Amino acid sequence: MTFKIDGIVGALRSARGASARTVDRDGNVLELPSPRDLSEIVSGIISSLFPRRYGGARAAMNGALDYFVGYTLDKALEGLSKQVVRELVFTAALAGRDVNDAESASRDIVQNFADRLPAILEILYSDVRAAYDGDPSAKSQEEVLLSYPGIKAVVHHRIAHVLYKLDLPIIARIVAESSHSATGIDIHPGAEIGPSFFIDHGTGVVIGETAVIGERVRLYQAVTLGAKRFSVDESGALVKGLPRHPIVEDDVVVYAGATILGRVTIGRGSTIGGNVWLTRSVPPNSNIVQAQARSDTFDGGAGI
């Protein structure tokens, strides 16, 4: 009439016991930042940046809007601060370090983050304008802000990137993945991306940790800016942090499905054609397209 679960509960306990886990000096399991909480926090930050479009606020005179912005921002920062404490404590425990006053350190970091928001907003306006200018079907910047997945991805990335620079890689990653899940666009929070950046359609785009992207760059769906290979040290372990992803200079366009791998440089003003596979640098103003190589003999499909 009911399920027999006592044995299962016990077996799950044993399995958990055998797994690696990070504990503090007293043996307590440490909490990690919460994706659910961060999702709400980032949503609050975005509402404070775009109060009329994301915030559900009335179209109000500046006075009343400031109350909304201040309230929303303050609440989001307060929430963020708790998540930052978790990352600081967890990371220190991983490294065997002590944490002195994680709460105070967290507040400084979060204040620092907040101070950069006006600059983030300025860049995001440039991104919205780039989408508006680059897409003939866009009728207004407001519409772009509302409905373009490429804009959603870049808004999240610019927030995640600041968090990454403030030495919060776990939180930054969680923010990036929530955007990845919603848009299919996977931008590592470490990537450096200049203003007026636009990704159209976007599904399947992957941009690696050390990629550097200039101003006014435009990407289409399924573009990969990846690493060619991982460097391995003498002991065979992966070497971390080396520049291993492409540098894409100003005013480059990369069409759908193109794959660019390794620390190569795509010169300014170049155009990379659809589905191109590129593992070398190209000079400024290059036009790269895929080889023509087709046959008309049917050899099967990719049905699954």
Footprint of a second copy on residues 285-304 (CB under 8 A)? 286-304
Q: What dihedral do alpha carbons 303, 204, 147, 133 form, nearest 10°?
A: -120
CA distance 102 to 153: 30
CA distance 92 to 73: 28
Verify binding: residue 236, a second copy, rule CB under 8 A: no
Binding mask 141-160 for a second copy (x = CB under 8 A): xxx--xxxx-----------
Minimal distance in Å, beta carbon 2 to a second copy?
5
Minimal distance in Å, beta carbon 98 to a second copy?
18
* b/e sequence 231-263, b meaning 16+ C-beta within 10 Å: eeeeeeeeeeeeebbbbbbebbbbbbbbbbbbb
Verify binding: residue 195, a second copy, rule CB under 8 A: no
- Tell me which of 64, 97, 101, 167 binds a second copy, using CB under 8 A: 64
**46: three-class secondary structure by DSSP:** helix
Contact 37, 79 (CB under 8 A): yes
Verify binding: residue 58, a second copy, rule CB under 8 A: yes
- Tell me which of 25, 118, 234, 236 binds a second copy, using CB under 8 A: 118
**277: three-class secondary structure by DSSP:** strand
- Tell me which of 161, 188, 216, 268 binds a second copy, using CB under 8 A: 188
Within positions 158 to 177, which residues make up the interface with a second copy, using CB under 8 A?
Answer: 169-170, 173-174, 177
- Tell me which of 106, 131, 220, 252 binds a second copy, using CB under 8 A: 220
Contact 244, 208 (CB under 8 A): yes
Minimal distance in Å, beta carbon 175 to a second copy?
9
- Tell me which of 109, 199, 217, 253 binds a second copy, using CB under 8 A: 253
Minimal distance in Å, beta carbon 272 to a second copy?
8
Q: In the Cβ-directed half-sphere of 200, how many Cα atoms lie within 13 Å?
A: 18
Binding mask 23-52 for a second copy (x = CB under 8 A): ---x-xxxxxxxx------------xx-xx
Verify binding: residue 11, a second copy, rule CB under 8 A: yes
Minimal distance in Å, beta carbon 232 to a second copy?
10
Verify binding: residue 273, a second copy, rule CB under 8 A: yes
Which amino acid belongs to residue 294? R
Verify binding: residue 186, a second copy, rule CB under 8 A: yes
Q: How many residues bind a second copy (CB under 8 A)?
A: 146
Verify binding: residue 136, a second copy, rule CB under 8 A: yes
For every residue of 55-120, DSSP letters joined together read: S---S--HHHHHHHHHHHHHHHHHHHHHHHHHHHHHHHHHTT---S-HHHHHHHHHHHHHHTHHHH
